[in-house]
Amino acid sequence: SSGNKEAGKVYIYTLSGEQVFVSNGTLTSEGKSQDARFGYALAAAPDLNYDGFTDLVVGAPLEDDHRGAVYVYHGQDIYIIHNYKQRIEGASLSSSLQYFGRSVSSRLDLDGDDLIDLAVGAQGSAVMLRSRSIVQINVSLSFQPHSINVIQKTCQRGGRESACLDATACFNAVSRSPGPNGIGFDLWVSAMLDDRKFSARALFDNSSHRQIQLPVRVQTGKALCYKLPFHVYDTADYIRPISFSLQFKINSTATGPVLDEGWPMTVNKSIPFFKDCGEDDVCTTDLVLQASMEISGTKQKPYLIQSPRKRLAVEVQLQNRLENAYNTSLKLHYSRNLHFSSLSIREDYSFKIECTALGPNSHSCNVSYPVFRSQSEVNFMLEFEFSCTSLHNRVQMKLVASSDSMERDATLGDNSVQLQSFVQYQPDLYVSSYSNLNRYEVHPTRSASEALGPEFYTHLRLQNLGCYVLSNLELRMFLPSVAAGDTVFMTITDVYAYNATGVNCRVLSAVAQLKARQRDVRPLHPEDMMHNEILNCSRSWCTEVTCEVQQLQQDVVIRVSRRAHDDFFRKAKYKSVRIVSDFDLTAKETNLITLRAGMLRGESVLEVLKGRAIPISLWILIGSIIGGFLLLALIIFILWKLGFFARKRREDENDED
């Protein structure tokens, strides 16, 4: 006791070989430091758990507010295990019990079942506690067939070809404690397929789930077996076996047996896949991949992608030179200027290849799923479309073949292929011109105030008939404007772009700048035009108009407005002259875009005619005047006859009133 509060402690001594007692520790009531009287009663039980060692029962009658409790300790060899195995509270048996555990007896068999019972004394009463038998349950698992053959399907489940198997679970209950066999009790059993996989590869037939629960009735001394049919679907994982786990426990009853302490309650087995890979059952493969593109281009001489070509074909050959390759796949990684279109198998249609997208520029294709057999070869063609949104000067591709089978490092070098070709794009681009004035006549008799002719327009149309947007184009126009003596005969009044954003035009018309840029020009003098019918950029200085087109999606129209200087053409000696304007289109990104020669240049022509002054005879003028007077007199006479000039008299007006 401590401070009038009784706790209690049991001291353990063992008898050594020299017949001397040696201390072997103490037993205490854990968490009950006071009001326990632990060790007030002691009893040596012959063998409560039937492990061959004597056990110990300790009474603590003052625990739980004097209701009392009994502790059971197991023995081991010549020692007592210091942690109690069971604590029996008096309050759990009857609320009226007091001082439960003041006396203990452990040498009784009151019900004749050959099991040791306990008698525990309390204040004014005694309690009999019977022992429960201890059983061991041996569980075995077997499968038929012994492996999973995914190549030869044996049944249909859920409308799909499957491999069907039967699992047989056998339970054999053995009693460890004395007594007759034939004791029946219930088990709770749970079976699980592929418990470590996120998605199940196998399901039970009865429930279409990978876990089932079932009640099992067993008897000691008798083996009982249960059949659990299940099936395996197509799966990408044929290398790792399918696990089968079985868990069980005895349904808790007041009188039934208990499972032996430490006895396993889980059985795990696995069912391998049939691989057909020799005696070691390890598949060692040798995949050989070959591929080639139908186009070829170098940096110095890139391949030209023209209008009719919208697809790219890649020929692929895959071989397996050794044992079966399971879950064989071909990974495709390609540049952004390609889109995967289709796959077609050559000749042998017994192979099946399916492709799925891994990302915007990668695909994975399974080859002859589930197994690409030994000594097999498959030839197929991959088709790609050229992108309309991403243009690059190279077409790149990487193909990698792999499988779940093992392959030696020495043969991995031919499992991948890298392809590359430099390319240039030749767009469906056309440039055309049209004017609202193609021929113009200059009248020599007009006044000096009419120095400029009418305004006319030349339209330049850029048409992009391809699917991709063109960028950074430059349209240059050379418009004859200045003759010898710095005489201007044509003026640009306006430059305007229709239906376009990002089109910037600039005009260079200063004569001094034109002379500095166009040094090879031999300008034509107005008096020498009788023997030259053409005014172009070789015989005159040309105004330069440069338009930068940042993006061309479909159609852009650029209008150039001009006026001819009539006073120049009145003074010049000629009958007709053709003013020829040139234009050309170029691409700034020459490593990416190239233009056809026919679409690079063009011209627009305005023919200027000089009118002649026709003299009028004097007699024609006199005759015209006399004829005019006679016609006027005739009209007046007719009107007089009709009374047009007669006035009414005043008497007539009054009569009318």
DSSP string over 408-476: -GGGGGGGEEEEEEEEEE---EEEEEEES-SEEEE-TTS-TT--EEEEEEEEEEEEE-SSS-EEEEEEE
pTM of the model: 0.59
> Per-residue pLDDT averaged across 421-437, rounded?
88
CATH value at residue 549 = 2.60.40.1530
- pLDDT score at 653: 53
Residue 185 lies in a domain: yes
Any residues with CB less than 8 A from the CB of 454 and at least 6 apart, and which? 437, 440, 563
Residue 635 lies in a domain: yes
Same domain, 181 and 243: yes
Residue 350 lies in a domain: yes
Same domain, 481 and 585: yes
Same domain, 263 and 364: no
- pLDDT score at 4: 47
Same domain, 212 and 171: yes
| Plot region of 644 (φ>0 → left; ψ -120 to 50 → alpha; else → beta) | alpha
Residue 248 lies in a domain: yes
Any residues with CB less than 8 A from the CB of 298 and at least 6 apart, and which? 422
User: Residue 588 — very low, low, confident or very high, per pLDDT cuts 50/70/90?
Assistant: confident
Q: At which residue do the structure tokens 């005014």 appear? A: 535
Out of 99-103, 395-399, 462-466, 597-601, least confident range? 597-601
Residue 368 reports pLDDT greater than 50: yes
> Per-residue pLDDT averaged across 421-425, rounded?
91
Question: Pick the residue with more confidence: 69 or 369?
Answer: 69
From 198, 225, 230, select the one nearest 212 (Cα to Cα).
Answer: 230
Domain boundary among 425, 444, 478: 425
Residue 31 lies in a domain: yes
Domain boundary among 98, 131, 164: 131
Same domain, 267 and 372: no
Domain count, the chain: 5
Residue 326 reports pLDDT greater than 70: yes
Q: At which residue do the structure tokens 């009145």 appear? A: 570
Residue 277 lies in a domain: no
Same domain, 80 and 192: no
What is the 8-class DSSP label of residue 558? E
Average pLDDT of the chain to the nearest whole number: 85
Residue 548 reports pLDDT greater than 50: yes
Same domain, 141 and 190: yes
- pLDDT score at 355: 92
Separation CA 228–CA 211 (nearest Å): 11
Separation CA 628–CA 216 (nearest Å): 136
Residue 222 reports pLDDT greater than 60: yes
- pLDDT score at 1: 46
Q: What's the Cα-to-Cα distance from 174 to each of 114, 121, 133, 351, rounded to whole Å?
A: 16, 34, 11, 55
Residue 281 lies in a domain: no
Q: Under DSSP, is residue 529 helix (H, G, I), strand (E, B) or coil?
A: helix
Same domain, 24 and 140: no
> Per-residue pLDDT averaged across 96-111, rounded?
87
Same domain, 263 and 329: no
Domain that residue 127 falls in:
9-131
Domain boundary among 373, 390, 425: 425
Question: Pick the residue with more confidence: 280 or 224?
Answer: 224
- pLDDT score at 443: 76
- pLDDT score at 2: 46
Separation CA 648–CA 653 (nearest Å): 7
Residue 447 reports pLDDT greater than 60: no
- pLDDT score at 449: 53
CATH value at residue 362 = 2.60.40.1510
Residue 426 reports pLDDT greater than 90: no
Separation CA 421–CA 291 (nearest Å): 14
Same domain, 153 and 124: no
Residue 194 reports pLDDT greater than 90: no
CATH value at residue 167 = 2.60.40.1460
What length is written for the chain?
Answer: 657
Same domain, 479 and 598: yes
Any residues with CB less than 8 A from the CB of 366 and at least 6 apart, and which? 236, 327, 328, 329, 353, 354
Residue 4 lies in a domain: no
Same domain, 299 and 208: no
